[in-house]
Structure 1
C-alpha cells in the first residue's frame, strides 16, 4: 500500500500571514514616537479679513487620528474646524478666512491640536499642539489728497502728493492697466506723505483717462479715491518709414542673439520690430522699479546740444516695403541728430540703472532720477558709464551711433515714468517743471 502524503493545512498559512501583517501593523503603531507636524500660515503677523489662513497637519507613520483648530481672542475661544479623517490619512490641510464681526481688531491666537494613531506609549507620544499669534487689522487706510487740480496732457506727466493714515505695503496711481508707484517721503503727525509721478499715456484719450489713487496695507485692506485733474487731448503726427533691403541686411544681423527665425530679411525685421520691441518695453517696466524713493534731479533737463529733431514723441509710424504697408508702431521718444558720434550728456543728475545692449534701442544707457522718473539714451556707438554710476547733469555718458534699429547716426532720447514713455519736451522746460511738479512738493 502507498502511504498518503500529508499536506500542510492551508488555513495555517493564512493564519501565519494574518498574524505577520498584524505584527507589522502593531510594530508600526508602537514604533511611531513622532507626533504630527503642524504649520500655520501666513508668516505675516498682521492680517485682515481677506487674509487666507492655511493649517497643514502631516503624519507619515501611523496617520492622523484627529485635528482641531480654535481661535482665541481675549477670554473667548471660538472653534474654527474639527476633523477625524480615515486611519490612513497622512495629511490634512484646511484653508479659511476670518468672518467680519467674529472678533474685534487687535491681537488673537490660532491654536491647532492633533493626534496620530500611534499606540506608544499608550498614545501619549502622538499628540502635538502649536499656537501662533496674529494682529487683526480690518480698517482700510484713509487717503488725504494734498495737491490741487493737476493739469496733464495726453502723453505727458503729472505729480500728486497725498497722505495716508498709515504706512502701507503698496501705494500709487492706477491708470487703466498701468500702475505708477508712489514713494513715502515722511511722516507728519499721524499721517504718512507720499509723492507719485504718473502719466496720461499717449494711447489714452481724455474720455478714457480715469486715474485713481490706490493703496493696500500690510493686512491686505485696500482703499482708492480720485483726485481733481484736467486732462488735455493731444494729437500726434503720422509718419512713413520706407524699408530698404540694404537697411535690413545691415540691421538684422545685430539681433542674432534673439529668436528671430530663419525667414527673409523682411520677416526677421518684422519679428524684431514687434516681438523684440514688446520684450524690450516690458523690461523698461522692470527697470522702472529700480528707482530712488526721493528726487535726484535738479532743475530742467538738458538736451543734446546743437541737435535737430528728426522724429517726435508718439509719431504714428507706418512701415512700407516696396510700396506696401507691412507694419505699424508708435515712436516713443524724440530722435535728435547732430554730428556723427556726438557726445551725449546726461540730462540730469541720477544713477545709471542700465548700460548695455538693449534690443531695438541698441547700445543704451538708462539713468534713474528718482520717484520712477528715468531717461533713456539709445543707438549709442559707445558707452562711457556703467551700472550704479552716479552721474551729474551734463556729464558725457556716451556717443551717438547707429546700433539697434537706427536708420542713421542719431540719439533716441526717451523719458520714462515707471516703465511708461512720456513726452520729453515737458522735462526740458523749467517753467513747466516748476508749475506742474516742484510747486506741488511739500
Structure 2
C-alpha cells in the first residue's frame, strides 16, 4: 500500500515538478533571422526580422540603431509571461515577425558608420531567471546624401534616330550612372579618362523619339540615393521614308522553306494560305523575338574606346533600304503586315567580302532567325556594329578584329530576298542611324572633339 501511495505521489508531484524544471531551465537560446536590404541606410529603408524560441517562448525583443552615443530604439516588444499551464498548451509565443521602418533623418544621426543591435530573450529560468539571450550587431552605413554630378560637355545636338555623347563627373565611388532618354537608359563608363570619376556615356534616340523627348543624366549611389541632371541639348526632328514591299507567291515559295519553326509549323497548315500565314508569323512574332535577341548582345561591352575615326561602309555597295524605313507589306494588293527597318541594306556583288567597320571585339557570330548569319562587333561604351544575312562568317565570338578585317561575305540568309548586307549600328539596346558613323565630320564634332575638350579641361 505504501509503495502504491509513494508511486502515486511521485507521479503527481515529482514528475510534473521535474518536467517544469527541465523545461524552464532549458539552455537553447532564441534566434533571430534578420534581413537588411543593403548595408547602406537611406531615406526609405525597412528591416525584416523573425524572432523564434522553440523552448520556453519569447520574452522580449529589442532592435536599436546606434551611432556613437546616440541610440534610437526601433523596436521594443515584451510578451506575456508563460505559466505552468502553458507548458501543456500553445499559449506561449514561439515566433514573431516584424517589418521595422528606419528613418535616419529623424534620429539626429549623421552620415557615416552605425550599428543595428538586436537582442532577444526567452522565458527560461537560466541566468537568474533572465532567460537565454540572443545578441547580434550588424554594421551599417548611414548615407542620405545623393551623389553630386557635373556635366563637362557643353553642346549636344542630336537627331531623331541619331546618337550623342555626354561626359560628366561624379563625386563618389561605386555610383551607377548614365543617360536616360525617354524610357531608355544608356550606362556611362569610366574607362576613357584617367580619372575614374569622369564618366563617358553614348546615348541614342530611337526612330520614334522626337524633339519632345526628355534627356537627363542619372546617378545612383550604393545606398540608392539618386541625382538627375538635365543638360543643354537640341533634338532635330527627322522624317523617315515610307516604303511598300510586295510579297509574291514566288518569294514565299523561295524563302519560307528556309525557316524551320518546329511545333509552330502545324498551325500554318490549317490556314487558307499556309505560306503567307508563316510569313506573317516570321515578320511579326519571330522578328520581335530576334530583335530582342540582338539588342541584348551589346551589353557585353568594354569600358574603353576600341575604335578610331569614321566607320567604314561596304565598299562599292549601293543603298537598297534606309535606316528606320517604315515598311508596309502587301499581298495581292492588300496590306498584310508592317515593320520598321533597323539598319541600312547594302548591295554589292554576290558573296561580296564584308570587312569590319572599325576595330573591336566579336560578341556574336551565329544564325538569328530573320537576320540569318549575324556578326556583332563591340566597339566599346555600348557601341556595336551588326552585319546580317551573311552567306558565311569568318570570325567567332571573342575574336579581336581590326578595321577592314574580313569577317564574312554578303548573302541572303534569314529573311533576305536577294544577296546583300544588312548593316546596323547599336548603342546599348537601341538601333541608331549608321549614316552618322560613316561621316568623319559628324564623328569629330559629336564624339572625338568632346573627349579632347574634356581632357584639356582636366589637364
Same-fold call, TM > 0.5? Answer: yes
Aligned to 1:423: 433
1:21–1:75 distance in 2 versus 1, CA, 3 Å: same
Give per-residue Cα distances to partners, 1:105-152, cap 9 Å, x unaligned. Answer: 111111011123445676667310100111111111111111111111
Q: 3-state DSSP class of the match of 1:437?
A: helix
Contact 2:42 2:104 in 1 (8 A): no
**How many Å apart are 1:327 and its aligned residue?**
1.1
Q: 3-state DSSP class of the match of 1:184?
A: coil
**Which one of 75, 99, 118 corresponds to residue 94 of structure 1?**
99
**How many Å apart are 1:178 and its aligned residue?**
0.6
Aligned to 2:142: 136
1:26–1:146 distance in 2 versus 1, CA, 3 Å: same
The equivalences for 1:27-426 within 5 A come to 33-44=28-39, 46-60=40-54, 63-84=57-78, 87-102=92-107, 103-118=109-124, 126-185=132-191, 192-206=197-211, 208-257=212-261, 260=264, 262-263=267-268, 264-426=274-436
1:362–1:52 distance in 2 versus 1, CA, 3 Å: farther
1:126–1:433 distance in 2 versus 1, CA, 3 Å: same
Task: Name stretches of at least 5 consecutive residues in structure 2 with no aligned partner.
Answer: 1-7, 80-90, 269-273
Distance 2:343 2:426 in 1: 9
**How many Å apart are 1:73 and its aligned residue?**
1.4
Count of equivalent residues = 424
Distance 1:250 1:21 in 2: 90
Contact 1:168 1:215 in 2 (8 A): no
Distance 1:272 1:29 in 2: 72
Contact 1:239 1:315 in 2 (8 A): yes
1:133–1:386 distance in 2 versus 1, CA, 3 Å: same
Q: What is the alpha-carbon root mean square deviation over aligned residues? A: 2.7
1:168–1:227 distance in 2 versus 1, CA, 3 Å: farther
1:187–1:435 distance in 2 versus 1, CA, 3 Å: closer
**How many Å apart are 1:305 and its aligned residue?**
1.1
Give per-residue Cα distances to partners, 1:354-381, cap 9 Å, x unaligned. Answer: 1111222111111000011000011111
**How many Å apart are 1:197 and its aligned residue?**
0.5
Distance 1:195 1:391 in 2: 23
Q: 3-state DSSP class of the match of 2:314?
A: coil
1:110–1:340 distance in 2 versus 1, CA, 3 Å: same
**How many Å apart are 1:342 and its aligned residue?**
1.3
**How many Å apart are 1:65 and its aligned residue?**
3.3
Q: Counting helix residues as a fraction of each chain, which structure ranks higher?
A: 2
Distance 2:353 2:20 in 1: 82
Which deviates more from structure 2 when the two are superposed, residues 269-278 or residues 212-221?
269-278
Distance 2:63 2:440 in 1: 63
Q: 3-state DSSP class of the match of 1:158?
A: strand
> What TM-score, normalized by structure 1, do the two folds share?
0.88
Contact 1:36 1:115 in 2 (8 A): no
Contact 1:310 1:336 in 2 (8 A): yes
Distance 2:94 2:263 in 1: 49
1:413–1:163 distance in 2 versus 1, CA, 3 Å: same
Task: Name stretches of at least 5 consecutive residues in structure 1 with no aligned partner.
Answer: 1-11
1:187–1:218 distance in 2 versus 1, CA, 3 Å: farther
Q: 3-state DSSP class of the match of 1:273?
A: helix
1:95–1:249 distance in 2 versus 1, CA, 3 Å: farther
**How many Å apart are 1:296 and its aligned residue?**
0.3
> What TM-score, normalized by structure 2, do the two folds share?
0.85
Distance 1:267 1:24 in 2: 78
